Amino acid sequence: MSKKNTEKKPSSFVIMLKRLFGIHQKETQDIFTEEQVQSPMRTVVRNFMDNKLAMTALIVFLAIFLFVLIAPVFMPIDLSFQEGTQANIAPGRDMMKIPKELQGNIASIDGGSTFGVGADTNGKVYVWGKTKISERIDLKDIPEDMGKIVQVSAGVDHILALAEDGTVYSWGNDRLQQVRLPNDIYREGKIIQVEAGYQLSMAVTDEGYVHVWGNENINDVRVKRKQQGTIAKVVASGDSVIGLTEDGEVVHLGRSESDIDKIPEDLENVVDIAACSTTGAAVTEDGEVVVWGNTQKGQGNVPEMDGKVVQISGGRYHFTALTDTGHVYSWGDNVYGQSEAPQTEGITNIYTGYYQNYAVDQDGNAQTWGLKGYLLGSDELGRDVFTRLVNGGRMTITIGAVAVIISTIIAVIVGGISGYCGGKVDIVLQRVMEVVSSIPFIPFAMILTVVVGNKVSETMRIFIIMLILGVLSWPTLSRLVRAQVLAERESEFVTAAKAMGVSRVSIIFRHIIPNVISVIIVTATIDFATCMLTEATLSWLGFGVKLPRPTWGNMLYGAADSVVIQSYWWRWVFPALLLSICVICINTIGDGLRDAIDPKSNDR
């Protein structure tokens, strides 16, 4: 009996997959047999893949390209968005990073525009987040010997702290005297509450008197004489103040008519109040939430809540409420996720800052939600640099790609016809190339932008930029195509095609051009990087895509200032870095393709 072969053979499906992806095993062949078996295109691909630098550049560019292509779907950009309290914030995600020492024994906590402040049960104060206001002012420079702090309040750029004995401490930006305490602050009783607003500070005494200091011009605040001696609590909105009297009445502590002073007439028996930018809210004795003022950002969309509301707090454009069942609810503007309250229970206190929320449970631990910070910082209008980079990258790469496609199509058509036909046709087309080549692109685009002005929409402007880039950048590639066609038109396969009666158009575009397509691809790849740089140059000069629509070029244009370059490095470093990486990668890919196509570059 013959010995049976026990070796397991691969299935036909596995063999097919291996052949499809080129991973099937084959016998070792000498170099000449190898070149005869493989097609020219496969040889080019293999040579390119052996070039580690070019392959690395390809992977990096594809990763950036796919990211800026897909990410804007999940990170859409609002071109009208701006927020002054978030301007020029450094990169980082630490705005709600509560110190470990504070967790577990929180007595009071509050959130400012870019930072947080808290006091533990022992009266010690902690500050975290983006605390540096200027070169000389840092909110982490907490005053010494403050005693036992029982309440803290955060403004845009300053902090108030209230000690157990009623002493008030303040630090931070004092440009408008919001940190400088009035001389008579302790005259009408013991301080029981402090409130830090926008460049404004307030304190309430146990006898119902309110003291106000800071910028009273921007903030509409003027406590009437008849209101003094009746106030139990005050809250600051974006530009005004409302108060809660000891009798449960809500009063406007200002002198001008505004959205927030339109307090409902039938509002009574109020136990808590809150305010955001131009909206007021109150909780009545029976747990009902009443909202008035400007509710365009959804502040009036009070959700259905489990239980009776016992506490309410306001941020910049949102409210957070706590029920007697220990559940927390948030509603209003949700641009930073500040209205996505966690599904939790056992909460005893809530604290809301500008875009931060803190829910403290019975063990003194806090859960947070809202704005943690910016991965790559923010710009001068408070817009997220990372979101603008992603959306701007898609615009920059799209403009470069479309411009290259347009220029390549024109170059192949003109170069192919010119090289094959020769004679008068060649002379005329070459003169056209010279005329187009003599047009200075950047000055021409600048003049066209001035002439067109605001007569066209932003979409049309972008289309015009892509069209001009494509129409004026084809001559170089066209000459290269012409030279290749001149070399190929005397080949035997062209002569055979003529003898068979094949038309000139078919000979040019179906027989000659496919034989020189590799050279076209290499040149078009390098032109892609050039078009991206040109678009960035135009936008940087202010003649490309206009703000607020982002591109990497106009983001650099917005950072073309000595103060920005020195103080806000993230606004220009990241756009410049991404643009440089993409251009270098594309040029490296082009060089790799050229080396793969050139037989002299193959080391045998």
CATH code assigned at 286: 2.130.10.30
Q: What pLDDT, on the 0 to 100 scale, is given for residue 3?
A: 47
Taking the alpha carbons at both ends of the chain, their separation in whole angstroms is 50
Question: Residue 40 falls within a domain, yes or no?
Answer: no
Q: Rounded distance, CA 525 to CA 579, Å?
A: 16
The H-or-E segment that residue 116 falls in is strand 115-120
Q: Please report the pLDDT score of residue 213 as a whole number.
A: 93
Taking only the tens place, the pLDDT of each residue in 128-152 is 999 999 889 999 999 998 999 999 9
Q: In the structure, what pLDDT confidence band is assigned to residue 453 with cuts at 50, 70 and 90?
A: low
Mean pLDDT for 583-591 is 89
Highest-confidence segment of 42-51, 233-242, 497-506: 233-242
Question: Which string of DSSP letters, residue by residue, matches 12-76?
Answer: HHHHHHHHHTT--------HHHHHHHS-HHHHHHHHHHH-HHHHHHHHHHHHHHHHHHHHHHHS-
Between 353 and 8, residue with greater pLDDT: 353
Task: For residue 112, give both structure tokens.
Answer: 């400012």
Give residues with Cβ within 8 angstroms of 219, minimum separation 6. Answer: 197, 198, 199, 200, 236, 239, 240, 241
Give the Å distances, CA to CA, from 188 to 61, 203, 228, 229, 507: 68, 11, 10, 9, 99
Lowest mean pLDDT among 1-5, 158-162, 557-561: 1-5
Q: What is the mean pLDDT of the chain?
A: 86
Cα separations in angstroms, 448 against 398, 471, 474, 538: 21, 14, 19, 12
Q: Are residues 443 and 521 in the same domain?
A: yes
For residue 378, give the DSSP letter: B
- Per the structure, the complete domain to which residue 311 belongs is given by 258-369
The tally of CA atoms less than 13 A away on the side-chain side of residue 430 is 15
Q: Rounded CA gap, 312 and 250, in Å?
A: 14
Give me the pLDDT at residue 501, please. Answer: 82
Q: Are residues 158 and 188 in the same domain?
A: yes
135 and 186 inside one domain: yes
Is 570 found in the same domain as 456?
A: yes
pTM: 0.82
Separation in Å, CA 184 to CA 180, 187, 196, 213, 499: 12, 5, 18, 11, 108
Do 363 and 453 lie in a common domain? Answer: no
User: Could you tell me the two tokens for 287?
Assistant: 């747990």
Domain final residue, candidates 219, 249, 266: 219
Average pLDDT value for residue range 281-292 = 94
Q: State the Cα–Cα distance between residues 293 and 306, nearest whole angstrom.
A: 25
Do the domain assignments include residue 17?
A: no
Same domain, 341 and 436: no
Last residue of a domain, one of 318, 338, 369: 369
Identify whether residues 310 and 413 lie together within a single domain.
Answer: no
pLDDT of amino acid 604: 44
441 φ, ψ (degrees, to nearest 5):
-65, -55
- pLDDT: which is higher, 246 or 10: 246
CATH of the domain at 453: 1.10.3720.10
Indicate if 468 and 363 belong to the same structural domain.
no
Residues 111, 351 contacting (CB under 8 angstroms): yes
Question: What confidence tens digit (pLDDT) does each residue in 302-340 have?
Answer: 999 999 999 999 999 999 999 999 999 999 999 999 999
pLDDT in tens, 462-496: 888 888 888 888 888 899 889 888 888 888 888 88
In this predicted model, what pLDDT tens digit does every residue of 419-428 receive, in sequence order?
888 888 989 9
The tally of domains found in the chain comes to 3
pLDDT of residue 1: 45
Tell me whether residue 121 is in a domain: yes
Specify whether 461 is located in the same domain as 595.
yes
pLDDT per residue as tens digits for the range 21-40? 444 444 454 544 544 445 56
pLDDT at 500: 84
- 3-state secondary structure (DSSP) of residue 324: coil
| pLDDT over 50 (residue 20) | no
Instruction: Specify whether 445 is located in the same domain as 575.
Output: yes
The maximal CA–CA distance of the chain, rounded, in angstroms, is: 118
Kindly report, residue by residue over 204-238, the tens digit of the pLDDT: 999 999 999 998 778 888 888 899 999 999 999 88
